[in-house]
């Protein structure tokens, strides 16, 4: 496997392309605040939801803007605002779990490879390239199909294919930092490998890692929603954005808000995540 050209399609998001147009710092803080607000919304979804998301509580198929049901109700009378809030909670935290696990697994492998160099580096990066060259989404679908359909297995499936990208980026950063004078100086001063890694190399990697991860959240939100749409998520009555759209496809032409609202919530999550990622990049900088 030649390393050339085997690049993750996800390189499209955090690519150097958008670095051209720098957002102002004030605006960047506002964008990051938006992400924080969304996270708060997700944390307190259960408190904010006016009704039980699973129990039918109102008239059937009320349109949005109805007095007691801000976003209306679905065809069996469940409150759409409540379902959407619960769905946002699930989607947002699931995406964070995937990104953090990718960051941790990829971080460990990338750091090991970058620090060890030589044979171990070669071995680990070959392994990483192999994962990058396989079609991640499809492999994730196959994993979930084999293990059984539930949210936990979906997270495992995506987690398995999501780390290699981080491993590559972090290995590159570690390699670049390891040859810098301050690391050389620490080595000459007699610092052990563990001390060098944790005190002198990793702190320098963190900004890039955070920027990369924050720009990636939107991708994961979309992927999770897509798998949920296909039925690879929570089973039936549980509120989940992708699945709620899929289950109500039949109402698209008669009561379009029922399938569209969960989809719009996914758009909101992915939009806020992407804008927030841009903000984080402007504020932290990183190497990109």
Closest to other proteins by CB, 174 or 241:
241
| Pair 55, 63: CB distance under 8 Å | no
* Of residues 242 and 286, the one with the C-beta less far from other proteins: 242
Residues 180, 192: Cα–Cα separation, whole Å:
16
| Count, residues in the chain | 288
Cβ 40 to other proteins shortest distance, Å: 21
C-beta closer to other proteins: residue 73 or 270: 270
Region binding other proteins by CB under 8 A among candidate stretches 94-102, 140-148, 204-212, 279-287: 140-148
64 lines the binding site for other proteins (CB under 8 A) = no
Number of residues that bind other proteins (CB under 8 A): 54
Task: Supply the minimum distance, in Å, between the C-beta of residue 1 and other proteins.
Answer: 5
Q: How far is the CB of 168 from other proteins (least distance, A)?
A: 15
CB nearer other proteins, residue 111 or residue 282: 282
Q: Which stretch in 22-30, 49-57, 184-192, 254-262 sits in contact with other proteins by CB under 8 A? A: 254-262
Residue 175 CB neighbour total at 10 angstroms: 16
CB 19, min distance to other proteins, A: 9
Query: Rounded to the nearest 5 degrees, what angle is found at the Cα of 128, between the Cα atoms of 154 and 271?
Result: 50
* CB nearer other proteins, residue 206 or residue 268: 268
* Residue of 107, 218, 276, 286 interacting with other proteins (CB under 8 A): 218
Could you say whether residue 237 binds other proteins (CB under 8 A)? no
Please state the separation of Cα 140 from the chain's center in Å.
15
Q: How far is CA 184 from CA 115, 188, 194, 197, 200, in A?
A: 13, 6, 14, 12, 10
Task: Confirm or reject binding of residue 231 to other proteins (CB under 8 A).
Answer: yes
The 10 Å Cβ neighbour count of residue 40 is: 11
Q: Are 113 and 133 in contact (CB under 8 A)?
A: no
How far is the C-alpha of 61 from the C-alpha of 162, rounded, in Å? 39
Q: Is 20 in the site for other proteins (CB under 8 A)?
A: yes
Encoded tokens for 283:
């504020």
242 makes contact with other proteins (CB under 8 A): yes
Q: Give backbone dihedrals phi and psi of 287, rounded to 5 degrees, phi first.
A: -95, -10
* Surface-to-core class of residue 288, CB atoms within 10 Å of its CB (0-12 exposed, 13-18 middle, 19+ buried): middle
The site for other proteins (CB under 8 A) is made up of 1-2, 4-7, 9, 11-12, 15-18, 20, 130, 133-139, 141-143, 145-149, 218, 222, 225-226, 229-232, 242, 245-246, 249, 252-253, 256, 259-260, 263-264, 266-267, 270-271, 274
């Amino acid at each position: 496997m030649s390393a050339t050209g085997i690049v993750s399609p996800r390189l499209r998001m955090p690519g150097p392309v958008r670095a051209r147009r720098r957002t102002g710092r004030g605006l960047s803080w506002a964008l990051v605040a938006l992400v924080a607000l969304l996270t708060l919304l997700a944390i307190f979804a259960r408190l904010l939801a006016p009704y039980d998301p699973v129990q039918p509580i109102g008239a059937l198929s009320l349109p949005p803007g109805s007095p007691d049901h801000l976003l209306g109700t679905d065809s069996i009378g469940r409150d759409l605002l409540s379902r959407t809030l619960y769905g946002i909670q699930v989607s947002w935290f699931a995406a964070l779990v995937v990104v953090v696990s990718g960051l941790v697994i990829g971080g460990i492998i990338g750091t090991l490879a970058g620090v060890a160099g030589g044979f171990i580096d070669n071995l680990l990066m070959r392994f990483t390239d192999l994962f990058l060259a396989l079609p991640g989404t499809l492999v994730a679908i196959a994993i979930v199909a084999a293990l059984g359909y539930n949210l936990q297995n979906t997270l495992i499936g995506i987690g398995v294919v999501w780390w290699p990208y981080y491993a590559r980026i972090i290995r590159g950063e570690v390699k670049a930092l390891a040859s810098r004078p301050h690391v050389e100086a620490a080595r000459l001063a007699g610092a052990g490998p563990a001390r060098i890694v944790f005190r002198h190399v990793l702190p320098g990697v963190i900004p890039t890692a955070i920027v990369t991860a924050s720009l990636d959240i939107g991708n994961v939100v979309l992927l999770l929603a897509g798998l949920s749409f296909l039925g690879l998520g929570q089973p039936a009555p549980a509120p989940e954005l992708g699945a709620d759209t899929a289950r109500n496809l039949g109402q698209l032409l008669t009561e379009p808000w029922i399938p569209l609202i969960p989809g719009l919530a996914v758009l909101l999550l992915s939009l806020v995540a992407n804008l927030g990622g841009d903000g984080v990049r402007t504020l932290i900088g990183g190497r990109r």
